[in-house]
Chains A and B, each alone.
Chain A
Amino acid sequence: MRIIGYVCAHAGYAAADLAGEQRLHYSADVTLIQVPCLGRVDVTHLLRAFREGADAVFVAGCLEGNCHHHYGNFEAKKKVAQGKRILNDLGLGSERLEMFNVASNQAWLFKEVVDEMTARATRLAPNPLGARN
Protein backbone atom coordinates (compact mmCIF):
# COMPACT_ATOMS: atom_id res chain seq x y z
CA MET A 1 0.00 0.00 0.00
CA ARG A 2 1.26 3.48 -0.80
CA ILE A 3 -0.07 6.65 0.76
CA ILE A 4 1.36 10.05 -0.12
CA GLY A 5 0.94 13.01 2.20
CA TYR A 6 1.70 16.57 1.14
CA VAL A 7 2.37 18.47 4.37
CA CYS A 8 3.21 22.11 4.93
CA ALA A 9 6.44 22.97 6.73
CA HIS A 10 4.73 25.01 9.43
CA ALA A 11 1.96 22.71 10.62
CA GLY A 12 1.55 19.35 8.85
CA TYR A 13 5.21 18.45 8.91
CA ALA A 14 5.71 19.85 12.41
CA ALA A 15 2.80 17.72 13.67
CA ALA A 16 4.33 14.65 12.02
CA ASP A 17 7.65 15.48 13.63
CA LEU A 18 6.01 15.81 17.03
CA ALA A 19 4.20 12.50 16.49
CA GLY A 20 7.62 10.95 16.00
CA GLU A 21 8.97 12.55 19.16
CA GLN A 22 5.95 11.30 21.08
CA ARG A 23 6.47 7.79 19.66
CA LEU A 24 2.93 7.69 18.23
CA HIS A 25 2.51 4.71 15.92
CA TYR A 26 1.02 5.09 12.45
CA SER A 27 1.25 3.19 9.19
CA ALA A 28 4.71 2.87 7.66
CA ASP A 29 3.08 2.95 4.20
CA VAL A 30 2.85 6.74 4.27
CA THR A 31 5.41 8.90 2.49
CA LEU A 32 5.42 12.56 3.45
CA ILE A 33 6.38 15.31 1.03
CA GLN A 34 7.12 18.59 2.72
CA VAL A 35 6.12 21.78 0.91
CA PRO A 36 6.82 25.34 2.11
CA CYS A 37 3.09 26.07 2.16
CA LEU A 38 0.02 24.14 0.95
CA GLY A 39 -0.52 26.94 -1.55
CA ARG A 40 2.34 25.29 -3.46
CA VAL A 41 0.37 22.08 -3.97
CA ASP A 42 -1.16 21.87 -7.42
CA VAL A 43 -3.73 19.51 -8.93
CA THR A 44 -0.98 18.12 -11.14
CA HIS A 45 0.98 17.04 -8.02
CA LEU A 46 -2.05 15.23 -6.66
CA LEU A 47 -2.84 13.46 -9.94
CA ARG A 48 0.80 12.61 -10.56
CA ALA A 49 0.93 10.76 -7.23
CA PHE A 50 -1.95 8.53 -8.36
CA ARG A 51 -0.32 7.97 -11.76
CA GLU A 52 2.81 6.84 -9.90
CA GLY A 53 0.71 4.26 -8.05
CA ALA A 54 -0.44 5.90 -4.81
CA ASP A 55 -3.51 4.25 -3.27
CA ALA A 56 -4.43 7.38 -1.32
CA VAL A 57 -3.19 10.95 -1.15
CA PHE A 58 -3.76 13.50 1.55
CA VAL A 59 -2.88 17.13 2.05
CA ALA A 60 -2.35 18.38 5.60
CA GLY A 61 -1.58 21.89 6.74
CA CYS A 62 -2.44 24.79 9.01
CA LEU A 63 -5.83 25.25 10.62
CA GLU A 64 -8.22 27.49 8.69
CA GLY A 65 -7.50 31.13 9.48
CA ASN A 66 -4.11 30.17 10.84
CA CYS A 67 -2.06 29.68 7.68
CA HIS A 68 1.48 31.00 8.00
CA HIS A 69 1.06 32.45 4.51
CA HIS A 70 -2.51 33.64 5.19
CA TYR A 71 -4.50 31.60 2.67
CA GLY A 72 -2.34 28.76 1.31
CA ASN A 73 -4.58 26.20 3.03
CA PHE A 74 -7.68 27.68 1.38
CA GLU A 75 -5.97 27.44 -1.99
CA ALA A 76 -5.13 23.79 -1.28
CA LYS A 77 -8.72 23.11 -0.28
CA LYS A 78 -9.88 24.29 -3.72
CA LYS A 79 -7.19 22.22 -5.48
CA VAL A 80 -8.20 19.11 -3.54
CA ALA A 81 -11.86 19.69 -4.49
CA GLN A 82 -10.81 19.99 -8.15
CA GLY A 83 -8.67 16.85 -7.83
CA LYS A 84 -11.61 14.96 -6.34
CA ARG A 85 -13.83 15.95 -9.29
CA ILE A 86 -11.20 14.71 -11.75
CA LEU A 87 -10.71 11.43 -9.84
CA ASN A 88 -14.46 10.86 -9.95
CA ASP A 89 -14.54 11.58 -13.69
CA LEU A 90 -11.71 9.12 -14.24
CA GLY A 91 -13.41 6.44 -12.16
CA LEU A 92 -10.71 6.21 -9.50
CA GLY A 93 -12.98 7.68 -6.81
CA SER A 94 -12.69 10.90 -4.84
CA GLU A 95 -12.38 9.12 -1.48
CA ARG A 96 -8.74 8.44 -2.21
CA LEU A 97 -7.94 12.12 -1.85
CA GLU A 98 -8.55 14.28 1.21
CA MET A 99 -7.54 17.54 2.83
CA PHE A 100 -6.95 17.91 6.58
CA ASN A 101 -6.19 20.87 8.81
CA VAL A 102 -3.70 20.02 11.55
CA ALA A 103 -1.92 22.40 13.92
CA SER A 104 1.76 21.93 14.64
CA ASN A 105 1.03 20.76 18.20
CA GLN A 106 -1.66 18.26 17.18
CA ALA A 107 0.48 15.17 16.80
CA TRP A 108 -2.47 12.99 17.87
CA LEU A 109 -4.57 14.47 15.06
CA PHE A 110 -1.85 13.82 12.53
CA LYS A 111 -1.82 10.16 13.60
CA GLU A 112 -5.62 10.09 13.15
CA VAL A 113 -5.25 11.56 9.65
CA VAL A 114 -2.83 8.82 8.64
CA ASP A 115 -5.00 6.16 10.29
CA GLU A 116 -8.05 7.46 8.39
CA MET A 117 -6.28 7.43 5.03
CA THR A 118 -4.80 3.99 5.75
CA ALA A 119 -8.30 2.70 6.54
CA ARG A 120 -9.65 4.18 3.31
CA ALA A 121 -6.82 2.73 1.21
CA THR A 122 -7.42 -0.68 2.81
CA ARG A 123 -11.18 -0.48 2.21
CA LEU A 124 -10.93 0.64 -1.42
CA ALA A 125 -9.56 -1.54 -4.18
CA PRO A 126 -5.82 -1.00 -4.71
CA ASN A 127 -4.84 1.57 -7.31
CA PRO A 128 -4.41 -0.56 -10.46
CA LEU A 129 -1.32 1.47 -11.30
CA GLY A 130 0.35 0.51 -8.02
CA ALA A 131 1.50 -2.88 -9.25
CA ARG A 132 3.20 -1.38 -12.31
CA ASN A 133 5.40 1.04 -10.38
Chain B
Amino acid sequence: MIVGEQKPLNEIVAMLDGHHRILISGCRSCVAICLAGGEKEVGVLAESLRLHSALKGKGWEVRENTVERQCEKEWVRELSPLVKETDVVLSIACGVGAQTIQSLYPDTRVLPGLNTSNMGAPDEPGVFKEKCGGCGDCVLHLTGGICPIVRCAKSLLNGPCGGSQNGKCEIGNDTPCAWEEIYQSLKRLGRLDLIERNIPPKNWIPSRSGGPRRIIRPEAVLTKEQKEAKE
Protein backbone atom coordinates (compact mmCIF):
# COMPACT_ATOMS: atom_id res chain seq x y z
CA MET B 1 0.00 0.00 0.00
CA ILE B 2 0.98 3.63 -0.30
CA VAL B 3 2.30 4.95 3.00
CA GLY B 4 2.17 8.59 3.97
CA GLU B 5 2.11 10.82 7.00
CA GLN B 6 0.27 13.99 7.77
CA LYS B 7 2.07 17.27 7.20
CA PRO B 8 2.80 19.29 10.35
CA LEU B 9 -0.29 21.19 11.49
CA ASN B 10 1.41 24.58 11.16
CA GLU B 11 2.22 23.84 7.48
CA ILE B 12 -1.39 22.88 6.81
CA VAL B 13 -2.67 25.98 8.58
CA ALA B 14 -0.28 28.19 6.55
CA MET B 15 -1.46 26.61 3.28
CA LEU B 16 -5.10 27.23 4.21
CA ASP B 17 -4.60 30.90 5.01
CA GLY B 18 -6.84 33.10 2.91
CA HIS B 19 -9.44 30.40 2.38
CA HIS B 20 -12.77 30.24 4.16
CA ARG B 21 -14.78 27.18 3.19
CA ILE B 22 -12.57 24.13 3.55
CA LEU B 23 -13.33 20.55 2.56
CA ILE B 24 -11.10 17.88 4.07
CA SER B 25 -11.17 14.80 1.91
CA GLY B 26 -9.78 11.45 3.05
CA CYS B 27 -9.51 8.05 1.43
CA ARG B 28 -10.58 4.66 2.79
CA SER B 29 -7.79 2.76 1.03
CA CYS B 30 -4.01 2.76 1.67
CA VAL B 31 -3.78 5.93 3.76
CA ALA B 32 -6.60 4.72 6.02
CA ILE B 33 -4.62 1.53 6.70
CA CYS B 34 -1.47 3.50 7.49
CA LEU B 35 -3.57 5.70 9.80
CA ALA B 36 -2.76 8.91 7.99
CA GLY B 37 -5.78 9.84 5.88
CA GLY B 38 -8.83 7.70 6.67
CA GLU B 39 -12.17 8.76 8.08
CA LYS B 40 -10.81 8.91 11.62
CA GLU B 41 -7.84 11.09 10.69
CA VAL B 42 -10.14 13.38 8.70
CA GLY B 43 -12.19 13.85 11.89
CA VAL B 44 -9.17 14.66 14.05
CA LEU B 45 -7.71 17.08 11.50
CA ALA B 46 -11.10 18.76 11.04
CA GLU B 47 -11.49 19.23 14.79
CA SER B 48 -7.92 20.58 15.06
CA LEU B 49 -8.58 23.10 12.30
CA ARG B 50 -11.91 24.13 13.82
CA LEU B 51 -10.17 24.73 17.13
CA HIS B 52 -7.43 26.74 15.40
CA SER B 53 -10.04 28.76 13.53
CA ALA B 54 -11.97 29.50 16.74
CA LEU B 55 -8.80 30.50 18.61
CA LYS B 56 -7.57 32.79 15.85
CA GLY B 57 -11.00 34.06 14.82
CA LYS B 58 -10.57 32.88 11.25
CA GLY B 59 -14.20 31.90 10.74
CA TRP B 60 -13.32 28.78 8.80
CA GLU B 61 -16.11 26.49 7.74
CA VAL B 62 -14.59 23.00 7.82
CA ARG B 63 -16.37 20.09 6.19
CA GLU B 64 -15.38 16.43 6.18
CA ASN B 65 -15.63 13.71 3.57
CA THR B 66 -13.94 10.39 2.97
CA VAL B 67 -14.22 8.59 -0.35
CA GLU B 68 -13.67 4.92 -1.01
CA ARG B 69 -10.67 5.40 -3.31
CA GLN B 70 -9.46 8.90 -4.05
CA CYS B 71 -7.35 7.66 -6.97
CA GLU B 72 -10.42 6.67 -9.01
CA LYS B 73 -12.57 9.22 -10.77
CA GLU B 74 -15.71 7.14 -10.24
CA TRP B 75 -15.46 7.66 -6.47
CA VAL B 76 -14.16 11.22 -6.60
CA ARG B 77 -17.20 12.31 -8.63
CA GLU B 78 -19.19 11.84 -5.40
CA LEU B 79 -17.48 14.98 -4.10
CA SER B 80 -19.10 17.17 -6.73
CA PRO B 81 -21.88 18.74 -4.58
CA LEU B 82 -19.42 19.42 -1.74
CA VAL B 83 -16.71 20.88 -3.97
CA LYS B 84 -19.24 23.33 -5.42
CA GLU B 85 -19.69 24.82 -1.96
CA THR B 86 -16.03 25.01 -1.07
CA ASP B 87 -13.05 27.33 -1.68
CA VAL B 88 -10.36 24.74 -1.18
CA VAL B 89 -10.04 20.97 -0.88
CA LEU B 90 -7.48 19.66 1.58
CA SER B 91 -6.72 16.11 0.45
CA ILE B 92 -5.26 13.79 3.05
CA ALA B 93 -4.99 10.91 0.61
CA CYS B 94 -1.75 10.20 -1.25
CA GLY B 95 -0.50 12.49 -3.99
CA VAL B 96 -2.39 10.40 -6.54
CA GLY B 97 -5.67 11.13 -4.78
CA ALA B 98 -4.97 14.86 -4.54
CA GLN B 99 -4.16 14.95 -8.27
CA THR B 100 -7.30 13.01 -9.17
CA ILE B 101 -9.45 15.55 -7.32
CA GLN B 102 -7.59 18.42 -8.99
CA SER B 103 -8.08 16.89 -12.45
CA LEU B 104 -11.83 16.47 -11.90
CA TYR B 105 -12.30 19.90 -10.34
CA PRO B 106 -9.75 22.10 -12.15
CA ASP B 107 -11.32 25.36 -10.92
CA THR B 108 -10.96 24.54 -7.24
CA ARG B 109 -7.65 24.64 -5.42
CA VAL B 110 -6.55 21.26 -4.03
CA LEU B 111 -3.93 21.19 -1.27
CA PRO B 112 -1.94 18.18 -0.03
CA GLY B 113 -2.38 17.45 3.68
CA LEU B 114 -0.12 14.40 3.54
CA ASN B 115 3.46 13.77 2.59
CA THR B 116 3.29 10.61 0.48
CA SER B 117 6.28 8.48 1.39
CA ASN B 118 6.55 5.00 -0.05
CA MET B 119 5.05 1.65 -0.97
CA GLY B 120 5.21 -0.37 2.20
CA ALA B 121 3.46 -2.49 4.77
CA PRO B 122 3.03 -2.57 8.54
CA ASP B 123 5.60 -4.81 10.24
CA GLU B 124 3.66 -4.39 13.47
CA PRO B 125 0.76 -2.11 14.42
CA GLY B 126 1.84 1.48 13.87
CA VAL B 127 5.21 0.62 12.26
CA PHE B 128 5.22 0.94 8.47
CA LYS B 129 8.24 -0.01 6.43
CA GLU B 130 9.08 0.51 2.78
CA LYS B 131 8.96 -2.74 0.81
CA CYS B 132 8.86 -1.93 -2.90
CA GLY B 133 10.59 0.67 -5.04
CA GLY B 134 8.33 0.26 -8.06
CA CYS B 135 11.40 -0.18 -10.26
CA GLY B 136 9.39 -1.87 -13.02
CA ASP B 137 11.72 -4.88 -13.29
CA CYS B 138 11.05 -7.17 -10.32
CA VAL B 139 13.80 -9.51 -9.07
CA LEU B 140 12.01 -10.97 -6.02
CA HIS B 141 12.20 -14.46 -7.60
CA LEU B 142 15.99 -14.28 -7.30
CA THR B 143 16.16 -12.75 -3.84
CA GLY B 144 13.95 -14.92 -1.66
CA GLY B 145 11.02 -12.50 -1.75
CA ILE B 146 12.99 -9.58 -0.32
CA CYS B 147 13.45 -6.46 -2.42
CA PRO B 148 17.09 -5.38 -2.63
CA ILE B 149 16.17 -2.15 -4.39
CA VAL B 150 14.53 -0.49 -1.39
CA ARG B 151 15.47 -2.69 1.53
CA CYS B 152 19.20 -2.43 0.80
CA ALA B 153 20.42 1.12 1.47
CA LYS B 154 22.67 0.92 -1.60
CA SER B 155 20.13 -0.97 -3.77
CA LEU B 156 22.80 -3.59 -4.39
CA LEU B 157 21.84 -6.41 -6.70
CA ASN B 158 24.75 -8.59 -5.58
CA GLY B 159 25.25 -8.05 -1.87
CA PRO B 160 25.98 -7.80 0.90
CA CYS B 161 28.51 -4.99 1.06
CA GLY B 162 31.23 -4.53 3.70
CA GLY B 163 28.88 -2.43 5.81
CA SER B 164 26.82 -5.44 6.83
CA GLN B 165 27.58 -6.24 10.49
CA ASN B 166 25.76 -8.84 12.59
CA GLY B 167 22.78 -8.74 10.27
CA LYS B 168 22.46 -4.96 10.49
CA CYS B 169 23.11 -2.28 7.89
CA GLU B 170 25.80 0.32 8.50
CA ILE B 171 23.28 3.17 8.17
CA GLY B 172 22.14 2.28 11.70
CA ASN B 173 18.62 2.87 13.01
CA ASP B 174 18.38 -0.88 13.58
CA THR B 175 17.94 -1.35 9.85
CA PRO B 176 18.41 -5.01 8.97
CA CYS B 177 20.82 -5.81 6.16
CA ALA B 178 18.60 -6.76 3.23
CA TRP B 179 21.23 -9.12 1.84
CA GLU B 180 21.53 -10.92 5.19
CA GLU B 181 17.74 -11.35 5.09
CA ILE B 182 17.93 -12.51 1.47
CA TYR B 183 20.60 -15.08 2.41
CA GLN B 184 18.54 -16.38 5.34
CA SER B 185 15.40 -16.54 3.21
CA LEU B 186 17.11 -18.42 0.37
CA LYS B 187 18.66 -20.79 2.93
CA ARG B 188 15.20 -21.53 4.38
CA LEU B 189 13.87 -22.10 0.87
CA GLY B 190 16.76 -24.42 -0.02
CA ARG B 191 17.75 -22.14 -2.90
CA LEU B 192 21.18 -20.87 -1.87
CA ASP B 193 22.23 -21.61 -5.45
CA LEU B 194 20.50 -18.33 -6.34
CA ILE B 195 22.86 -16.28 -4.20
CA GLU B 196 25.73 -17.67 -6.28
CA ARG B 197 24.13 -16.29 -9.39
CA ASN B 198 25.42 -12.92 -10.51
CA ILE B 199 22.50 -10.62 -11.21
CA PRO B 200 23.51 -8.52 -14.27
CA PRO B 201 23.25 -4.71 -14.25
CA LYS B 202 19.63 -3.77 -13.87
CA ASN B 203 17.54 -2.42 -16.67
CA TRP B 204 16.40 0.92 -15.27
CA ILE B 205 14.41 1.90 -18.37
CA PRO B 206 11.11 0.67 -16.85
CA SER B 207 11.88 2.72 -13.74
CA ARG B 208 11.84 6.52 -13.43
CA SER B 209 14.31 7.15 -16.26
CA GLY B 210 11.78 7.86 -18.96
CA GLY B 211 9.42 10.31 -17.29
CA PRO B 212 5.92 9.41 -16.07
CA ARG B 213 5.22 5.75 -16.70
CA ARG B 214 2.15 4.45 -18.45
CA ILE B 215 0.75 0.95 -18.61
CA ILE B 216 -1.91 0.13 -21.16
CA ARG B 217 -4.01 -2.97 -20.73
CA PRO B 218 -5.73 -3.38 -24.12
CA GLU B 219 -8.51 -5.65 -22.85
CA ALA B 220 -9.64 -2.93 -20.44
CA VAL B 221 -9.42 0.05 -22.78
CA LEU B 222 -12.88 1.22 -23.83
CA THR B 223 -13.66 1.12 -27.53
CA LYS B 224 -15.04 4.18 -29.26
CA GLU B 225 -18.52 2.61 -29.20
CA GLN B 226 -18.29 1.85 -25.47
CA LYS B 227 -17.21 5.41 -24.71
CA GLU B 228 -20.15 6.75 -26.69
CA ALA B 229 -22.56 4.38 -24.93
CA LYS B 230 -21.23 5.50 -21.53
CA GLU B 231 -21.72 9.15 -22.36
Contact = CB atoms under 8 A, between A and B. Distances in A.
A90 B47 contact: no
B205 interface: no
B49 to A, nearest CB: 9
A91 B55 contact: yes
B166 interface: no
Contacts of A129: 54-55
Interface string A47-70: 110110000000000000000000
Contacts, number: 40
- Interface size class for chain A? 10 to 19
Contacts of B50: 47, 51
B52 interface: yes
A128 B8 CA distance: 24
Interface in B7-24: 8-10
Interface in A113-133: 128-129, 132
A86 B55 contact: no
Given A50-B51, A91-B55, A129-B55, A44 B9 contact: no
Contacts of A48: 47
A90 B43 contact: no
B189 to A, nearest CB: 37
A47 B10 contact: no
A51 B9 contact: no
A18 interface: no
Given A86-B9, A90-B9, A47 B55 contact: no
Interface in B23-59: 40, 43-44, 47-48, 50-52, 54-55
A51 B10 contact: no
Interface of B: 8-10, 40, 43-44, 47-48, 50-52, 54-55
